[in-house]
Amino acid sequence: MSGSRLPAGGRIDRDRPLAFTFDGVPYAGYDGDTLASALLANGVDVVARGIYTGRPRGIMSAGSEEANAFVHVQWPRGWSEPMLRATQVDLEDALAARGEPGRGRLVDEPSRARFEKRYAHCDVLVVGGGPAGLAAALAAARSDARVILVDEQREPGGALLGARELIDDVPAIEWIDEVTRELRAARQVRLLTRATALAYHDHQYVLVAERPREPLVEGRLWHIRARQVVLATGAHERPIVFADNDRPGIMLASAARTYVNRYAVCPGRRAVVFTTNDSGLSAARDLADAGIEVVALVDARDGSTVTGTVGGECLEGALVDGQTVACDLLAVSGGWNPCVHLFSQSRGTLRYDNDLAAYVPDRPFQATYVAGAAAGSMGLAECLQDGARAGSRAAAAAGFGDGTAPPVPAVAVDGHRTGRVHPLWVVPSTTGSWDTHFVDLARDATVEDLRRATGAGLQSIEHIKRFTTIGTASDQGKTSWMNASAIAGALMGVADGATGLPTFRPPYSPANFALLAGRDRGDLHDPIRTTSIHPWHVAAGAVFENVGQWKRPRYYPRDNESMDQTVLRECAAARTGVAVMDASTLGKIDLQGPDTGEFLNRIYTNAFAKLPVGSCRYGVMCRLDGMVFDDGVTSRLEQDRFLMTTTTGNAAPVMEWLEEWLQTEWPDLRVRATSVTEQWSTIAVVGPQSREVLRALAPSLDVDAAAFPFMTWRSADVAGVRARVFRISFSGELAYEINVPTWYGQSVWEAVMAAGASLGITPYGTEALHVLRAEKGYPIIGQETDGSVTPQDLGMEWIVSKTKWFIGARSHRRADTRRDDRRQLVGLLPLDPDDLLPEGAQLVLDANQPVPMRMVGHVTSSYRSAALGRTFALALVNGGRALIDTVVYAPLGDRTIAATIANPVLYDPENRRRDG
């Protein structure tokens, strides 16, 4: 129990005490504490354990570079989160946390928390609100550029919050407050705290994760497009590697200093400071000023080192040059690693700086400026000047101001982080063993692992990373990669800086799945598309299916019908009485222009240029490879105007296809295409009695067979609404498709239902639709076709023009596309008329052959038919058309179904029912 709270000082609010629990034990802290500072204040040393070694671990940092103190947090607002760093958990009242030894636990819990996304543009984005970032933002803001400043912490100030610097002879905090006030008041500035920049992508796109303190918003992901970016991301102190360097009580020197200055916490009573550079001296001074006994200052520049430590559950002593020095706090400074993560993500290059013994930004790739410690400028005066310069230059590059850096306030030269860093990466083992020289605490990876990696012959830092797993934990190697690179380099006998660092990748800090998902969850995961008749279907108890993004009625069960019973009933109504279906989801494209006929001739396999006005024609379109792409009925509305229909799923792809050909290949064709899928409702009235229903709805329309022939359309008032009525049939029965503007869809549907009530008009859905068309042998795109099926395979030689060119024609002449043993559309009649073939079942000619069996086709559609009084199926079978009456077998595993190959048109092959 080494830590304690100082009686005064710190940026905590002692008027707002908070209660929390850790590992079930209650503790107290203050608003302004992190979980880590509060634990230290309460004398809690052991926070977690090594993932593989189980060794006790404490808190080793005061920020996002924490590699030990992983915790699972139960937030007071009602949700829990695994694998957070205690140093980044802002203490809240009633927070409950426990140590998480290396692996997080996911909890299944409902949560009302919301994650949002925001999108913003600015002229200058400044990442980091420490001295350099504040100076940059100020300079840019004063030029009136739109500025966004983001900082990871709850308040700006960065490293200044943990130090005791003076700016203009007063505590730096005052300068921070003053600048922050000006920025918050500036009209073109957005200041985000608790906001971590995660990624710097191509084209100046930066992602920022904000953790707002708002009741129901757990996180907000900003997508910022910035003309210029200033990275003032600071630097991370790095540890030195020595034997048993993982005990609770061992932490980064700047962290010890930060706990004292910012949180009024003494992390220990007796401290040893082990350093390679001047910043360790500043830390030692601050510790001493807080009343901590600094019993040894071990300066590697003088050749002194800590060779190991002793202790039980926590630190009890450090081995300094061979002598054990009793202590409960060992503050270590191995140097400073500029935070180049975002710079590198943006494709900026790095170079090794021998004075800093660290990698610094070299050449930016995008519109990026780097300022302050991130650029290797470690002193406070330099940071302020860097920042002012970067901010004004960035603003000027964005068109604001002339780029002159404004003056910055005076800073006493303090040698804080200036000066050369002695490159001591690892203190040699005194025992011959390296397996407690920890390089990556979060992975329990040691120098022994590096020895094995380099001993295995691995030379690339990428190999070494993967072999040792150094840097792959939640801390993402912030304190381990540099040391690993240097130590591996030393093991390989290469110069410092020659080994390089592994690729920096987003996110800079671990990012919640739910944050990145945002609102695209539940019903918002994908838009729900419904027709204007949808409320009627819902009220009628329809069972829906997803067809792409659409909700389509699949069937309308009555009483306690099963789906099979419903579908049989709906089909029977369509074939013997009258039935009605909402076909509004099919794609509709209005094509206008004098060359539209020619255009359709090229798009469809069959001819449309001479289709008479008032007529309709079924068409098939192929892709350039000759495979069927889509089908539908297209009608000539006027001489220079057609209405094309497509399948539901291909409405957008066909529209894109038409536009692509018109714009890129045939710009000379005078054709305009407009999608009108959502502008028209389509109500299909189907069955021998459909004429009577239409007659009642459209008294001025002559609906006799001779006056209104098959595959023509008429303009008429239907239920008082101006409509286009098409005599098209997908079922083989007499049928009419009534098109009205979408606004009238539901009212006209209701009128249809009323007009057909005495005839027992029956709504039907996609399932019955599928059965009816299958009985006629009509293929469905995406079911009888899969992108590798030609019109000829479907038995549609008749629709493929022999005279005109169309898209796909050339491909039909290729060797493989002309084979006569290609899969061809056939019907199947199970020998047992009650046996239903499963859709997808594979077919063989010999059911007794051993596996692997030679398959000759598969079942594409399979139904019970009310009209045929039996089961039937459609299938694609190799050379199927020459195999009519042959028996094929569908081995299903537990049994085999035998079926006879038949012509696919099983119902009314002479089309006698079409006229009603």
Partner 1 sequence: MVRASPTSMSATERLWRHPEPKRRYDVVIIGGGGHGLSTAYYLAKNHGITDVAVLERGWLAGGNMARNTTVIRSNYLWDQSAAIYERSLQMWEGLEDELGYDLQFSQRGLIGLAHSTGDVREGMRRIYANRLNGIDAEWLTPEDVARVCPIVDISPDKRYPVLGGAYQPRAGIAKHDYVAWGYARGADALGVDLIEGCEVTSIDVAGGRAVGVGTRRGSIAAGKVAIVAAGHASIVAAMAGVRLPLQSHPLQALVSELLEPVHPCVVMSNTVHVYVSQAHKGELVMGAGIDAYNSYAQRGSFHIIERQLAAAIELFPVFARAHVIRTWAGIVDVSPDASPIIGPTPVDDLYVNCGWGTGGFKATPVSGAVLASTIASGNQDPLARPFSLERFTSGALVDEHGAAGVAH
Partner 2 sequence: MLLITCPWCGPRAEIEFKYGGQAGVSCPSEPDAVDDAEWGRFLFFRDNPKGPFDERWVHSAGCRRWFTAVRDTVTHEFLQEER
Q: Any contact of residue 201 with partner 2 (CB under 8 A)? A: yes
Q: Any contact of residue 203 with partner 2 (CB under 8 A)? A: yes
DSSP H/E element including 774: helix 766-775
Cβ atoms of 203 and 24 closer than 8 Å: no
Cβ atoms of 423 and 429 closer than 8 Å: no
User: Which residues 349-388 are close enough to bind partner 2 by CB under 8 A?
Assistant: 365
Looking from the CA of 266 toward its CB, the CA atoms found within 13 Å total 21
Site string for partner 2, 761-800 (x = CB under 8 A): ----------------------------------------
Q: Tell the smallest beta-carbon distance from residue 203 to partner 2 (Å).
A: 4
Contact pick of 293, 412, 526, 805 for partner 2 (by CB under 8 A): 805
Tokens of 525: 């995961």
Contact pick of 7, 8, 15, 103 for partner 1 (by CB under 8 A): 103
Q: Tell the smallest beta-carbon distance from residue 756 to partner 1 (Å).
A: 22
Site string for partner 2, 206-235 (x = CB under 8 A): -----------------x-x----------
User: Which residues 313-352 are close enough to bind partner 2 by CB under 8 A?
Assistant: 347
Q: How far apart are CA 171 and CA 830, in angstroms?
A: 90
Q: Tell the smallest beta-carbon distance from residue 438 to partner 1 (Å).
A: 16
Tell me the sheet residues that pair with 890: 897
Phi, psi of 531, rounded to the nearest 5 degrees: -80, 170
Of 399, 362, 325, 385, nearest to 131 by C-alpha is 385
Contact pick of 285, 451, 670, 881 for partner 1 (by CB under 8 A): 451
Q: Tell the smallest beta-carbon distance from residue 629 to partner 2 (Å).
A: 14
Q: Any contact of residue 81 with partner 1 (CB under 8 A)? A: yes
Residue 610's binding partner out of partner 1, partner 2, none, with CB under 5 to 8 Å set by partner kind: none
Cβ atoms of 61 and 67 closer than 8 Å: yes
DSSP H/E element including 388: helix 380-397
Q: Any contact of residue 520 with partner 2 (CB under 8 A)? A: no
Q: Any contact of residue 802 with partner 2 (CB under 8 A)? A: no
End-to-end CA distance of the chain: 94
Q: How far apart are CA 123 and CA 148, in angstroms?
A: 8
Contact pick of 353, 839, 908, 915 for partner 1 (by CB under 8 A): 839
Which residue bears the tokens 């020595």? 242
Phi, psi of 302, rounded to the nearest 5 degrees: -95, 5
Residue 102's binding partner out of partner 2, partner 1, none, with CB under 5 to 8 Å set by partner kind: partner 1
Contact pick of 811, 842, 900, 903 for partner 2 (by CB under 8 A): 811
Nearer to partner 1, 302 or 523 (CB): 523
DSSP 19: E
Residue 840's binding partner out of partner 2, partner 1, none, with CB under 5 to 8 Å set by partner kind: partner 1
Q: How far apart are CA 335 and CA 279, in angstroms?
A: 8
Q: How far apart are CA 806 and CA 802, in angstroms?
A: 10
Q: Tell the smallest beta-carbon distance from residue 675 to partner 2 (Å).
A: 10
Cβ atoms of 209 and 513 closer than 8 Å: no
**Cis ω for the linkage preceding 364 (within 30 of 0):** no
Nearer to partner 2, 11 or 529 (CB): 529
Nearer to partner 1, 389 or 551 (CB): 551
Residue 103's binding partner out of partner 2, partner 1, none, with CB under 5 to 8 Å set by partner kind: partner 1
Q: How far apart are CA 797 and CA 402, in angstroms?
A: 73
Nearer to partner 1, 206 or 327 (CB): 206
Secondary structure of residue 636 in the 3-state scheme: strand
Which residue bears the tokens 């990669």? 481
Q: Any contact of residue 111 with partner 1 (CB under 8 A)? A: yes
Q: Any contact of residue 205 with partner 2 (CB under 8 A)? A: yes
Contact pick of 560, 664, 803, 848 for partner 2 (by CB under 8 A): 664
Residue 212's binding partner out of partner 1, partner 2, none, with CB under 5 to 8 Å set by partner kind: none
Q: Any contact of residue 526 with partner 2 (CB under 8 A)? A: no
Nearer to partner 1, 112 or 722 (CB): 112
Strands annotated E in 250-327: 250-252, 265-266, 270-275, 293-299, 306-311, 315-320, 323-326
Q: Any contact of residue 548 with partner 1 (CB under 8 A)? A: yes
Q: Any contact of residue 364 with partner 1 (CB under 8 A)? A: no
3-state secondary structure 390-450: HHHHHHHHCCCCCCCCCCCCCECCCCCCCCCCCCCCECCCCCCCCCCEEEEHHHCEEHHHH
User: Which residues 727-786 are close enough to bind partner 1 by CB under 8 A?
Assistant: 766, 769-770, 780-783, 785-786
Only one of the segments 131-139, 289-297, 369-377, 846-854 lies at the binding site for partner 1 (rule: CB under 8 A); that segment is 846-854
Site string for partner 1, 200-239 (x = CB under 8 A): -xx--x-x-------------x------------------
Cβ atoms of 856 and 875 closer than 8 Å: no
Of 85, 51, 3, nearest to 315 by C-alpha is 3
Q: How far apart are CA 376 and CA 753, in angstroms?
A: 78
Q: Tell the smallest beta-carbon distance from residue 897 to partner 1 (Å).
A: 12
Q: Any contact of residue 694 with partner 1 (CB under 8 A)? A: no
Q: How far apart are CA 768 and CA 785, in angstroms?
A: 20
User: Which residues 468-527 are close enough to bind partner 1 by CB under 8 A?
Assistant: 468-469, 472-474, 476, 503, 505-507, 510-514, 516-518, 520-523, 525-526
Contact pick of 93, 638, 665, 846 for partner 2 (by CB under 8 A): 665
Q: Tell the smallest beta-carbon distance from residue 810 to partner 2 (Å).
A: 4
Q: How far apart are CA 662 and CA 656, in angstroms?
A: 10
Of 315, 273, 265, nearest to 32 by C-alpha is 265
Nearer to partner 1, 367 or 514 (CB): 514
Q: Tell the smallest beta-carbon distance from residue 639 to partner 1 (Å).
A: 31
Q: How far apart are CA 567 and CA 703, in angstroms?
A: 29
Which residue bears the tokens 């023009």? 801
Residue 664's binding partner out of partner 1, partner 2, none, with CB under 5 to 8 Å set by partner kind: partner 2
From residue 22, give the alpha-carbon distance in Å to each of 38, 44, 74, 769. 10, 9, 10, 62
Only one of the segments 16-24, 481-489, 622-630, 662-670 lies at the binding site for partner 1 (rule: CB under 8 A); that segment is 622-630
Site string for partner 1, 783-812 (x = CB under 8 A): x-xxxx----------------------x-
Q: Any contact of residue 663 with partner 2 (CB under 8 A)? A: yes
Site string for partner 2, 620-659 (x = CB under 8 A): ----xx------------------------------x--x
Q: Tell the smallest beta-carbon distance from residue 809 to partner 2 (Å).
A: 7
Secondary structure of residue 121 in the 3-state scheme: strand
**Cis ω for the linkage preceding 361 (within 30 of 0):** no
For helices 481-492 and 447-455, what crossing angle results, to 10°? 50
Q: How far apart are CA 440 and CA 57, in angstroms?
A: 12
Nearer to partner 2, 137 or 662 (CB): 662
Nearer to partner 2, 366 or 469 (CB): 366
Contact residues: partner 2, CB under 8 A: 201-205, 223, 225, 347, 365, 624-625, 656, 659-660, 663-665, 805, 809-811, 813-815
